[in-house]
Amino acid sequence: MTHNMTSANYARWLAALFAFCLFLFFFRLGSAPIFDLDEGLYAACCKVMAQSGNWITPLLNSRMPGHPHQLTTPFFEKPILVYWLGAAFIKALGATALAVRLPVALIALITTFVVVWAGTRWFGRRAGLLAGMVYATLPITLIDARQLTTDGPLVLIFTCQMLAFYAALRAWQRGQKPAGRKWAIFYWALTALAVLAKGAVGLLLPPIVFVVYALLQTIVLRVQMRGGIRMQGRLAVQPLQALRPAVQALWLPAGLLLCFVIAAPWHYLVWKAGGRDELGYTWFQQYIIRQHIGRFKGLDKVHDAPFFTYLLYFLAGFFPWSGFAPAALRTRTSADDPARPAERYLQVWFWTIVGGFSFAAAKLPTYIAPAYPAAALLVGRWLDQVCSAVPNAQTLRSLRNGARTAFGVSVVLMAAALIGPLAVPRSAPIAPEIKQAALLTAVCAAAGTWAALRWLPSPVQGRRTKGIAALAATAGALVLAGCTLGYHAAAAQVLGPYQQIAHDAAPDAQAGIPVVYYHIIPRRPSMLFYAGYSPFERKQAALFHWLYREVAPQGGPIDLAASTRVVRRDLMPRLLKLHLQAQPLKKCKGWELLRIVLPARIGMVQ
């Protein structure tokens, strides 16, 4: 058993962790403008939802292609929960970046303390606190806490699903059926929310983990090392017999009915509301066929990556604790240790998600985010053991290797910050503020991990504790650097210019002049959030026939927002050929707002 702390010390450290999380998740939360791409899409839909009162169909304030008088366009790609969260806070606090991000910051805070609760319940108070600290300081956690996406809500709900199932299963095994049924009901209510947060993955992913966990309980593996390594495996019981406790624990008929009652109404109402998105797809075609069945079949070729990609993603996303994961993910408890079942459950939870998604062609760093709470709990458990006992040579070696890995990642980040700008084309140089922010972030990471490398591999308990604190402080330094200089650079050089251009066109839009976002690739949907009107969006370079066909059939003035590069490369040659002029209205660091006056009749040449 690991060392535990008194109730008074536990309360003090719990309060300290809470204060640290407030800084990590809420410090200057609304200081950066809305990010693109995903947050921009969700935030724009949330704003329209809050203003229109339509809480069923997510809508973008963009003109519907082919229907210029339709001021909004349905956006069917994601379920509704993220829009409800953002719209509710916008309704209460106004359409600001802070209001948009508050729900996901609160969700990250709740998820952290769910991890603390599970770690404390299974492994002891200090292990729970360490697990919560590990989870709170992960880059993936900080990213999910500081921009409105579907990933933060899914991770919270999925984590609670996994804990609810385990509690239901243990209660069933102990013969505590009333308690098991309560946990089962809680699980199915969470499953309904998971479906509303992320779609079918919230329904299907947890049972896959449960099945793997149940089947692994049936395998007895023996390893003999006399005269070489020999492995023998056999099934202790039949697979179907092993699955029976899990099925019984989840109380399937009543649970499925509850899940259906919670999740089905929105799906029915959005289908009944009808409409087509900008590509001409209905909700069923986009959400069910393309986003679910299509992704399952591997049609998302844009994000295809090699099999071992998630190991690299985990190395970065679990920084600076990823170097300790190999030691933490190995079972170290004896067969009679009460914590062993929970430890094995966490291992299955982690490897099923990481391994399962590794076989998929499309890979994104956020796909394995639901595995991070399990890894945090295991690393917290291992760090607690390291701090409690006199370390042996193997433990010191694991600490040294983990600290070296963290420091190595920091060195790679610093090299990228120094060398990366040299590889950028001269036509698109990186602003000095961005270089400084990237370099400061890398220096903070290197300083913290270097201190940990000096302190962690020590037989003295106090120095090991200092090393762990140094790694936690590294995350705090990254947040401090990123949310000050980094946010300023993003607002001044990256996001602010085109968002300002969109905002500056508002008076003309209110006066009845059409506003066109021209050839903006990739799309910047945050412009829609700051616009306050419904612009036309034109991705294709061919422009003037489309303007007469959809925007201004009778000619007249048109405001056109585009990057300076697009204006010089694509627009100006066409204007010269048509003997038209563009009047500059606004210029802002690589972006322009132009006024074009179309005559009533003109021979168009593309």
Q: Average of pLDDT values for 364-391?
A: 90
Count other Cβ atoms within 10 Å, centred on residue 65.
19
Q: Which of 158-162, 225-229, 473-477 has the highest mean pLDDT?
A: 158-162
- pLDDT for 223 equals 39
**Whole-number pLDDT of residue 117:** 97
For a pLDDT cut of 70, what percent of the chain falls above it? 90
* Nearest alpha carbon to residue 137 among 418, 596, 444: 444
Q: Is the pLDDT of residue 411 over 50?
A: yes
d(C-alpha 491, C-alpha 484), whole Å: 11
Residues paired with residue 538 on neighbouring β-strands, in sequence order: 518
Give the torsion sign (CA, 527, 528, 531, 533).
positive
User: In angstroms, how far is the first alpha carbon of the chain from the final one?
Assistant: 76
567: number of Cβ within 10 Å: 21
Q: What is the pLDDT of residues 351-368, one digit of tens each?
A: 999 988 887 777 788 889
pLDDT of 603 strictly over 60: no
DSSP code at position 67: B
Quickly tell me which residue has 């029915």 as its tokens.
Answer: 268
Handedness of CA 559, 563, 564, 567 (dihedral sign): negative
Helices (H), 174-296: 177-198, 201-216, 239-250, 252-273, 283, 295-296
60: which DSSP letter? Answer: E
| In the chain, domain spans | 401-492, 504-598
**Partners of 584 in beta bridges:** 594
What pLDDT was estimated at residue 299?
57
CB-CB contact of 370 with 353 (8 Å): yes
Residue 337 one-letter amino acid: D
Q: How much is the pLDDT for 295?
A: 66
> What does the pLDDT look like over 94-134, one tens digit per residue?
999 999 999 999 999 999 999 999 999 999 999 999 999 99
Taking the C-alpha atoms of residue 277 and residue 279, their distance in angstroms, rounded to an integer, is: 5
Total residues found in the chain within this entry: 606
Predicted confidence (pLDDT) per residue in 486-511, tens digit: 899 889 888 999 999 999 999 999 99
pLDDT higher than 70, residue 519: yes
* Environment class of 222 (CB within 10 Å of its CB; exposed 0-12, middle 13-18, buried 19+): exposed
| Strand ranges in 484-555 using DSSP code E only, listed in sequence order | 515-518, 536-538
Q: pLDDT tens digits, residue range 314-334?
A: 988 999 999 899 989 886 666
**Lowest-confidence pick of 39-53, 54-68, 79-93, 378-392:** 378-392
Both tokens of residue 190?
């969470």
The runs of H, that is alpha helices, within 298-371 are 309-317, 325-328, 340-358
Per-residue model confidence (pLDDT) at position 267? 96
Q: pLDDT at position 229, please?
A: 46
Token pair, residue 295, equals 């992704």
Q: CA-based Rg of the chain, rounded to a whole angstrom? A: 27
Least confident segment among 233-237, 271-275, 370-374, 390-394: 233-237
pLDDT of res. 220: 47
The rounded percent of the chain whose pLDDT value lies above 90 is 53
431 DSSP assignment: P
So what's the pLDDT on residue 297? Answer: 61
**Looking at residue 213, what is its pLDDT?**
87
Mean pLDDT of the chain: 87
Three-state DSSP string of 385-428: HHHHCCCCHHHHHHHHHHHHHHHHHHHHHHHHHHHHHHHCCCCC
The helix or strand, by DSSP H or E, that contains position 82, with its residue range, turns out to be helix 81-93
Strands (E), 256-344: none
Per residue in 424-445, is it b (16+ CB within 10 Å) or e — as a string? Answer: eeeeeebeebbbbbbbbbbbbb
pLDDT score for 380? 95
Is a pLDDT exceeding 90 seen at residue 235?
no
Q: Confidence band (pLDDT; 50, 70, 90) for 216?
A: confident
What is the C-alpha to C-alpha distance for residues 35 and 495, in angstroms, rounded to an integer? Answer: 7
Q: Is 327 helix (H, G, I), strand (E, B) or coil?
A: helix
Q: CA–CA separation, 160 vs 110, rounded Å? A: 11
Angstrom distance (rounded) from CA 406 to CA 457: 13
State the pairing for strand pair 59-60/73-74.
antiparallel
Which structure tokens are listed for 236?
A: 């202790």
Residue 234 has pLDDT above 80, yes or no: no
